[in-house]
Amino acid sequence: MGHAVLVVGAGYAGVTAANRLAGAAEVTVVDPREEFVERIRLHRLVAGSGPATVPLSRVLDPRVRTRTARVTRIGDGVATLDDGGELRFDRLVYAVGSGGATGPAGAGYRVDTLEAAARLRDAVAGLGAGAVVTVVGGGLTGIETATELAAARPDLVVRLVTDGEVATGMGAPGQERVRARLRELGIGLREHAAVGDPAGLGADVVAWATAPGVPDLARRSGLPVDDSGRLRVDATLTSVGDPRVVGAGDAVAAPPEVGFVRASCQAAIPLGTAVARTVRAGLRGRPAPVASIGYQAQCLALGPGAGLVQLVDRRDAPRRLAIGGRAGAVVKEQVCRYTLRAIRGRVA
């Protein structure tokens, strides 16, 4: 029998790692659903303007096995599942992702998981003309959600509230483009506005697009984590508490030499590739290479037919060049399609 590699989580990082390990070991992906969630399309699901899933079988190498379940504990070479089963592993890829954090009591809805986005979609669909939807969070997810909603439902009053400035990672010119698009769509913007009690927002629906949390699986399993519950790994993405466990994606706390890890598919895919190299090296008894990631752009959808692609350096700092308008929307869509090819390992 060959080496058993268990991949916990079927997001961008997990699927990327599984596909690059297929054929080198007996790979099993464990995830609660049989669909791959395109998180970069969840804003479209919220607005009812498009799907955000594809069958998991479409993005996984046919040699990779799947188990529809949730891992409840990682033990000594064994993972316990919520269906009562157990799976043995020689290596485990921790790729549980992020999402599901909550705002203050009564906050309402979030956008960062499939289930949460579907609940928000249903809530918005039930609103009549003139109802108020407030999106809290001025990052990419909040902007995409607000603009998609405003374009799809011009009969609603859509507001965007953030405790800082909107689109801070885009640089000043990019921020002005975003503000202009918000004005064009009639979206009310409040910057530098701390939100305590959601009831004070005066909204019929409040959608939280603030920084997501991570599952507590690593903490519950006794693995070393940071203050946010992210699995602590070294520069090879190996857990500092168990050399059989490696990690990639949003739920990992990597050291500075790996590079800045922004919660994004742009970080998850190279991390998934790097973690596969680490697993292959370990199974062969060889030293694992140091992981390193860099960035190229921040891509933002601004409603149908509009987008903004801000080029950045490898540390995610904005460069001077940006592509906006319809051209930006075309590039953004191509990036979304490219990610599906990239996680499969086919990028031509």
Name the most confidently modeled range: 106-115, 122-131, 194-203.
122-131
Reply yes or no on whether the pLDDT at 150 is more than 70: yes
Region 8-27 average pLDDT: 98
Average pLDDT over residues 72-80: 99
**Taken in order 119, 342, 1, 221, is the CA torsion positive or negative?**
negative
pLDDT the model gives residue 347:
44
pLDDT value at residue 1: 53
Lowest mean pLDDT among 131-140, 241-250, 266-275, 337-346: 337-346
Identify whether residues 82 and 14 lie together within a single domain.
yes
Q: Do 170 and 315 belong together in one domain?
A: yes
Question: How far is residue 171's CA from residue 318's CA, in Å, rounded to a whole number?
Answer: 6
- Whether residue 275 is found in the same domain as residue 247: yes
Same domain, 13 and 159: no
Does 64 map to a domain? no
E strand residue ranges, 82-169: 86-88, 91-94, 109-110, 132-136, 157-161
Q: What is the mean pLDDT of residues 122-148?
A: 98
Q: State the pLDDT confidence band at 99, using cuts at 50, 70 and 90.
A: confident
Q: How far apart are CA 121 and CA 245, in angstroms?
A: 37
- Mean of the pLDDT values across residues 276-291? 97
How many structural domains comprise the chain?
Answer: 2
- Please check whether residue 177 lies inside any domain of the structure: yes
Work out the average pLDDT over 93-118.
Answer: 83
Note the pLDDT tens digit of each residue in 29-56.
999 999 999 999 999 999 999 999 999 9
Q: Is the pLDDT reported for residue 293 higher than 70? A: yes
Stated length of the chain = 348
Assigned domain for 306 exists: yes
Residues 139 and 248 in one domain: no
pLDDT at 103: 57
Under 8 Å between Cβ of 293 and 16: no
Question: Residue 102: which pLDDT band, with cuts at 50, 70 and 90?
Answer: low
- Is residue 207 domain-shared with residue 335, that is, in the same domain? yes
Whether residue 58 is contained in a domain is answered as: no
Does one domain contain both 94 and 231?
yes
86 contact partners, CB below 8 Å, separation of at least 6 = 78, 79, 80
Mean pLDDT, range 231-242, rounded to an integer: 99
Select from 241, 258, 283 the last residue of a domain. 283
Question: Could you tell me the CATH number of the domain that includes residue 313?
Answer: 3.50.50.60
The sign of the CA dihedral 215, 221, 284, 236 is positive
Give a yes or no: residue 202 inside a domain.
Answer: yes
Same domain? 18 vs 120 = no
Please report whether residue 288 resides in a domain.
Answer: no
Q: Using an 8 Å Cβ cutoff, are 142 and 135 in contact? A: yes
Residues 72-88, mean pLDDT to the nearest whole number: 98
In a domain, 187, yes or no: yes
Predicted confidence (pLDDT) at residue 108 exceeds the cutoff of 80: no
Which of 283, 303, 323 is where one domain is finished? 283
Which range is least confidently modeled, 92-101, 164-173, 235-244, 319-328? 92-101
Domain that holds residue 94: 4-32+69-98+214-283
| Structure token digits, residue 237 | 């993405």
Same domain, 253 and 310: no
Q: Tell me the pLDDT of the chain averaged across its residues.
A: 95
Q: Is the pLDDT of residue 286 over 80?
A: yes
Residue 113's contacts (CB-CB under 8 Å, 6 or more residues apart) are: 37, 42, 99, 100
Give per-residue pLDDT as tens, 194-228: 887 788 899 999 999 998 999 999 999 999 999 99
Mean per-residue pLDDT for 97-118? 80
My answer on whether 85 and 229 are in the same domain is yes
**Mean pLDDT, range 231-236, rounded to an integer:** 99
| Inside any domain, residue 129 | yes
Domain boundary among 231, 262, 283: 283
Residues 135 and 218 in one domain: no
Share of the chain above pLDDT 70, in %: 97
Residues 269 and 321 both lie in one domain: no
pLDDT at 340 over 70: yes
What does the pLDDT read at residue 101? Answer: 62
